[in-house]
Copies of this chain bind each other. A is one copy, B any other.
Amino acid sequence: MKNRLKVERAEQNLSQADLADRIGVSRQTINSIETGRYVPSTILSLKLAQVFGKPVEHIFTLEETD
């Protein structure tokens, strides 16, 4: 699964720590999702989508291998 977190953060000028605070997870969690180390829960992706005001599908997209 690909994600656009880095780009969305840049658009809103948010650091990984800022974003983590906003949705109530650790900074490492954001970093790990962003670098593809793991797949977030649906609750997390809904919250991320909410922060950026965009649909989940715009931020996370399935790949062949998923």
The residues of A with any CB-CB pair to B shorter than 8 Å are: 1, 39-47, 49-50, 55-57, 60-62, 66
B62–A56 touching, CB < 8 Å: no
Copies held by the complex:
2
- Interface pairs (28), CB distance under 8 Å: A1-B42, A1-B46, A39-B41, A39-B42, A39-B43, A40-B41, A40-B42, A41-B41, A41-B42, A42-B56, A42-B60, A43-B62, A43-B66, A45-B56, A46-B56, A46-B57, A46-B60, A46-B61, A46-B62, A46-B66, A47-B66, A49-B56, A49-B57, A55-B55, A55-B56, A55-B57, A56-B56, A56-B57
* Closest residue on chain B to residue A48 by CB atoms: B42
